[in-house]
Structure 1
Amino acid sequence: MSSRPEVSVSPLRAKIQHASDPALQRLSRFPVAAMVAIVLVLVIAGAVLGGVLGALMILVVAGFAGWLAYLAWPRLETPERLMRLAPIALLLAVALVAGVSHQLLV
């Protein structure tokens, strides 16, 4: 494995990372299985419910994943960045389909 150099960050990124620290500390104490269950429930319920509510449920998960990806971004290499972007793009597409498909059925 290659050692990664120190990454310099902008003042805005440093401020966001610092503001995220308390939430990350709470999340680190949360059981992993419970976090996975919450994410699965939100995505599956959002896809099944459809409409605006379903799309919002899925967008919450996409936003959470995006926030975590943003925090890790400077330390990631290109393949790792792509692996973080792919599920976020998939969640956004599912949210769009869930929101639009309900509108077409009504």
Structure 2
Amino acid sequence: MSETDELVFETALDAPPEMVWRALTIPEYIERWLQKPADTQLDIVASDENKSLTYRWRDPGQGAAADPQESLVTFELTPQADGGTWFRLTHAPVAVPVAANNNERAGPAMLLAA
């Protein structure tokens, strides 16, 4: 994964971090504003109350043989002097390592002697 694969959105919100946190962690609230497809799965992988929260976002693959797609969605909340919140959302695909014995990898072929 590289930084160019990430989608980053930042904005100032007119609500304290505690209120934004509630919107990110109460299922009924997050379902309402995220509007994720019904077959998408969200799982919390990291949280620091009122500061940051990371979800693993899993979309089913397209077509019969397609692999599911995974990404990490991180919300960062920074309190502002005016009582609001600086909100940063980062959506980054999960990099899946390529197996060393993958025949499709680029580069010269390697032979091992027994």
Is TM more than 0.5 here? no
Larger radius of gyration: 2
Which one has a larger percent helix, Structure 1 or Structure 2? 1
Normalising by the smaller structure, the TM-score range is under 0.3
TM (norm. structure 2) is 0.24
